[in-house]
Amino acid sequence: MSDDAATMDLAQATAIRSVSARIIEAPTRRKHKLSNTSLSHQGYIFVEVVLENGVVGFGEGSTLGGPRWAEESVEAMKVNIDTYLAPALIGHPACFLEAAATKMAQAAKRNYTAKSALDMAMLDAVGKTLNVPAHVLLGGAQRASFSAIWALASGDAGQEVEEAKGMIEKGWFNRFKIKLGFADPLTDLARLTALKVALPEGTDMIADVNQGWSEADFIRYVPHLVDLGVSLIEQPLPAAQMPAMARIATRSPIPIMLDEGVSTLGEAMDGCGSGAGSVLSLKLCKHGGVHQLKQVAGIAQAAGVQLYGGCLLESSLGASGHLHAFATLPNLDWGTEHFGPKILVEDLCSDGLRYENFEVHLPTGPGLGVTPDPDCINRYARKD
């Protein structure tokens, strides 16, 4: 068989027959606080893509308390998938992922989380069709595991100390990101100090302000973060204040990480090129798909900006999609915070991610390498 004939056969086999989307509301083990919201249930859009060969691919898009972290809500994602994005993909070969991204871009502006969920499902389906892990379709893995970070975000220092010690004892996480910005800075710093005193000497602590400070706040309080040995500060200022981010980056002895301020390639160019941060958090929900994530990572690396594997409390399904993309990057300097499967009361997958020796491990099976649990999905699916 010629290469052209083989390509034609694969295209026909992976043509998209149907797309469906469901809203999932999964309970978390404890409240998760950010600077502008608090949640006890995590919202997902759960996507199924069925190919002409009968293979089903699964994808997931995550939000934090509705359209507070970004403009998308699970309700908006479902409407836009059903009305605009799915019709654009029906009949398109899922193996042509770049062309699929172009079709989605033409069908709807932004909507990056919805697009990333569909992109993930297509990647899963094509990997299963070819019986290869998803990372093979993205260039191949350069690592099989990642240093893992756990987020402390209840706001109760005593509870967080016990939570962190439990993670260390289990061998799951020994690096911690502490959510700040939902209290006044002095209260946040007192809580951070309590964690510093109680946790083992040398414990890596990252401060995530979630856009909760002003430039003046940062100038005033960054010396305290230095004294506490904080290794990294994530998005301390509002996303739109890129010039101010660049100013504080020149004053800070602690690296600044860009997150909410960078979704698009243009924003990556502006943020990295202007020196608004020396680290960049990568998330599929920000960039719209695996290839776009890799393009943003390339811009960052060309500018000398280090990379961090961000998350939005994904289950093992969404986290696996991220890990397959992260595994192909030349460097993931800061590891990844994909702790979502462990904060859920029930993971959405029957064979979820493996956490051992303070690392999260890349799944090895075909496609994304994890299997959604239909009973769990049905249990937490919104009943409309």
- Residues labelled catalytic: 179, 337
Degrees, nearest 5: CA angle 356-358-364: 45
Residue 255 has which token pair? Answer: 């690296």
**In contact, 178 and 205? CB cutoff 8 Å:** yes
Among the listed residues 235, 182, 173, the one whose alpha carbon sits nearest the alpha carbon of residue 205: 173
- DSSP class per residue in 209-227: -TT---HHHHHHHHHHHHH
d(CA 302, CA 296) in angstroms, rounded, equals 10
Among the listed residues 95, 91, 92, 63, the one whose alpha carbon sits nearest the alpha carbon of residue 77: 63
Helix segments in the chain, DSSP class H? 3-13, 74-80, 86-89, 97-107, 112-130, 157-170, 185-198, 215-227, 242-251, 265-273, 284-287, 290-302, 316-326, 340-343, 374-380
**In contact, 344 and 369? CB cutoff 8 Å:** no
Q: Which residues contact 261 (CB under 8 A, 6 or more apart)?
A: 235, 239, 240, 242, 245, 267, 271, 276, 277
d(CA 376, CA 268) in angstroms, rounded, equals 37
End-to-end alpha-carbon separation of the chain, Å? 49
